[in-house]
Amino acid sequence: MSAVTNILLTGLLLTASLTHIPGNALADDNIWYFTADEIEIAYRYQQNFGRRLHHPLKARDCYFGKADFIASFQGKEFLAPCQFILQTTGHLKTILEIGAAKYLFPLDSDHAHLAITTDLWREKYNQTNGPEILPEILREPTLVALYHTAEHLSAVDRESSPMSAQVENWKAQRNIIASYDSRPLKILPPHPDGSAHERVEGHQTVVTLFFLAHPLAELIVSASGRSHSFDLSFDDDMAE
């Protein structure tokens, strides 16, 4: 369990103890899963008191007509296209609007796996490592992102009642493939056991992109009447 998740769980437990939501046990009596109401409480905590990603991309100027920005990965800086930031923001906007995700944090959605076709990987990139290929990968027109959502969403509420239609729709859309060449999003059905898809068929995963809502974040997405300020990062805080 990540440090971010640990902090969020602590905030959730503290906040839930002060609310008037009936019942005392968490969803399924399982600390890994939470009801939709519990996740909403935890997100309010994250938006007000949560930690920030350690190495957020400084890409705010991409929203104001810049063509490129200075990105970093594993301590190495490189020039990255602002189009990547704009398209990723577009992915998140659509994902939030269709109800595939509701929040940008670990209990719902906080990462995407970036991938290119296996053929392209073999022909062009398999002899180089992540920091070296990222500047080019982010400009590849066939780049795709596999987003995971509903990561800790319980299938039942506190009274073990069946999922509501809204929650069922949320979980049913928990695997999303988004392209960087304007193709529409593609929803992959969950595995029979409900687990997420770990890779895109016919593609090689190159790097994981992390995102997290925070009040001081420089990036913003508005969807369904709600604004989310968030950070993006190629660095995994857990690897530090």
In the chain, at which residue ranges do the beta strands (DSSP E only) sit?
68-73, 76-81, 111-117, 144-148, 175-179, 186-187, 203-213, 219-223, 226-233
Greater confidence, 168 or 87?
87
* Angstrom distance (rounded) from CA 177 to CA 144: 7
Tokens at residue 223, please? Answer: 């969807």
Q: What is the pLDDT of residues 136-161, one digit of tens each?
A: 999 999 999 999 999 999 876 655 55
Residue 217 and residue 229 in contact, taking contact as beta carbons nearer than 8 Å = yes
Q: What is the pLDDT of residues 11-43, one digit of tens each?
A: 554 444 334 343 344 444 567 889 999 999 999
Torsions phi, psi of 63, nearest 5? Answer: -75, -5
> Does the pLDDT of residue 130 top 80, yes or no?
no
**pLDDT more than 90, % of the chain:** 67
Tokens at residue 16, please? Answer: 């839930």
Q: What is the pLDDT of residues 172-194, one digit of tens each?
A: 899 999 999 989 999 998 777 76
